[in-house]
Copies of this chain bind each other. A is one copy, B any other.
Amino acid sequence: MAGFNRRSFLAAAPFIFTATALARAAAPAAKTQTPGTYRFRLGDYQLTALYDGIWRLPIEDNFIRNAGKADVNAALAAGFLPPDVLPVSFTALLVNTGRKLVLIDTGTAGQITDSAGTLTANLATAGIKPAQIDTILISHFHPDHINGLKTKDGGKVFANAEIMVPQVEWDFWMDESRIETAEGVVKKYFLNARRIFRDLAREVHRFQPGREIAPGISAIAAPGHTPGHVAFTVSSGNQTMLVIGDAARNPELFVRHPAWQPSFDMDGPLAVATRQSLLQKAAADKLLVHGYHFPFPATGHIAARAEGYELVPVLWQPL
């Protein structure tokens, strides 16, 4: 009867998968993520989003100064994200103008969390060596934006790049007198900025926002997150995109709720004014927007909603 039952089961089954499947060796599950690079065109320029990874940051009760943790968790849930953890995604932007390779911000170089630090590997996937980068533009001096300039041992990662930083950031973070009174994580930021920039001082060009600083690329004052934080516009042909930096971080929180003041923003009200202004401009002008902390490929459009805004991610396309 056992044999009959088995035959009956097999006869009723629409196929037989057990024998062949068990006989063949299965492919082992991969240990690492696939490359995180995405190319797109802006006028005559070719841009590449370069993924560096993600930092899963436990959310403190006072993370948002003007909203409760329940509100934060509700916003995360609306994005189908788990509660109590902020997923801090890092994606830098490479601009190939046809004459120059310009990198905007530099990733973490594995110096913040084990789950980030893939920028140079993804640069290699994109066919670019670090030594080919001509210019590096820095939005502000937080570690996740500048650490990629240096290895853990203090070596230069981008051997031939000129490094351009906001004058106000340099003046603030490199001011010896301020470090004495700094506390907690901000003190770490001061020390980290020195570690990265001290021996590069002669190679670093300081710029003022409000002008073109590389071909087709202009800096825009976007203070609040840090004193000298800047955004950038990239223009080619008749197309312009906004590189919003940390003026708007996780979209499910700060694009949806631009008035929220996270503890990351040194001047909360000023950061909100900057964020509102840039999001309003992006929505009104239907600008393509890159956000360093937007989900990879970190590029999309900003749509105005009844309250706040929404990030509409770019459609992944062949070149």
Contacts and interface: CB of A to CB of B under 8 A. Distances in A.
A194 interface: no
Contacts of A312: 78-80
A228 interface: no
A33 interface: yes
Q: Which of A14, A35, A48, A162 has the most CB of B within 10 A?
A: A14
A78 B162 contact: no
**A interface, by DSSP: helix, strand, loop or mixed?**
loop
Contact of A115 (B34, B36, B39, B318): B318
Contacts of A303: 78, 80
A101 B295 contact: no
Contacts of A27: 96, 101, 127-128, 132
Interface in A283-299: 286, 295-297
Copies in the complex: 2
Interface in A25-67: 26-27, 29-39, 46, 48, 51, 53-54
Counting chain B CB atoms within 10 Å of each CB, the highest count among A87, A313, A314 belongs to A313
The residue among A46, A99, A206, A317 with the most chain B CB atoms within 10 A of its own CB is: A317
Nearest to A87: B315
A89 B315 contact: yes
Interface string A202-221: 00011110000111000000
B26 A101 contact: yes
Interface of A: 14-15, 17, 20-22, 24, 26-27, 29-39, 46, 48, 51, 53-54, 78-81, 87, 89, 96-101, 115-116, 118, 125-128, 132, 134-135, 160, 162, 164, 167, 205-208, 213-215, 286, 295-297, 300-301, 303, 312-319
Given A20-B134, A29-B98, A33-B38, 4 more contacts: A21-B99, A27-B101, A115-B318, A295-B316
Q: Which 5 A-B pairs rank lowest in CB-CB distance, beginning with the nearest?
A: A15-B205, A296-B316, A34-B37, A80-B301, A29-B46
